[in-house]
Amino acid sequence: MSELFANGRIIDAVLVLVAAEAVLILAWRRRGGPGAGPLLVTLASGAFLMLALRAALAGAAWFWLALALLGALAAHLADLWLRLRPHAALPHGRPAP
């Protein structure tokens, strides 16, 4: 078990669960659930942070870690933009009347 944590393989398992969650969110959206965009960029931000952790645990070159952190930043900024735009508070992203 300690080997899973030492080489970062545990992150692979968590990323599989995040991907499954994204598929479920998209399926829910097709059945009339809330907008998938904000949920997916939040998942992407976390996934990129997990990739950065995996790169650090596995001893990857610094640029892989930097690339993963840059992806997390981009997803985080997209998340903020989606949440802070004027009509973000309306249910299902409907435009204001």
8 phi/psi in degrees, rounded to 5: 85, 5
Quick check: helix, strand or coil at residue 7? coil
The domain containing residue 28 runs over which residues?
A: 2-90
- Yes or no: say if 86 and 96 are a contact pair by the CB < 8 Å rule: yes
The reported pLDDT for the residue numbered 89 is 54
Amino acid at 91: P
The reported pLDDT for the residue numbered 90 is 53
Give the pair of three-digit tokens for residue 36: 């998938």
- Yes or no: say if 57 and 7 are a contact pair by the CB < 8 Å rule: yes
**What predicted TM-score, i.e. pTM, was given to this entire model?**
0.78
Give the pair of three-digit tokens for residue 22: 């994204």
In this structure, is residue 58 part of a structural domain?
Answer: yes
Nearest Cα neighbor of 51 from 34, 38, 32, 64 is 64
**Overall domain count for the chain:** 1
In this structure, is residue 95 part of a structural domain?
Answer: no
pLDDT tens over the chain, length 97 residues = 788 777 788 999 999 999 999 999 889 888 887 777 888 999 999 999 999 999 998 899 999 999 999 999 999 999 999 888 876 555 555 555 4
Nearest Cα neighbor of 55 from 2, 3, 11 is 11
The reported pLDDT for the residue numbered 91 is 57
In this structure, is residue 51 part of a structural domain?
Answer: yes
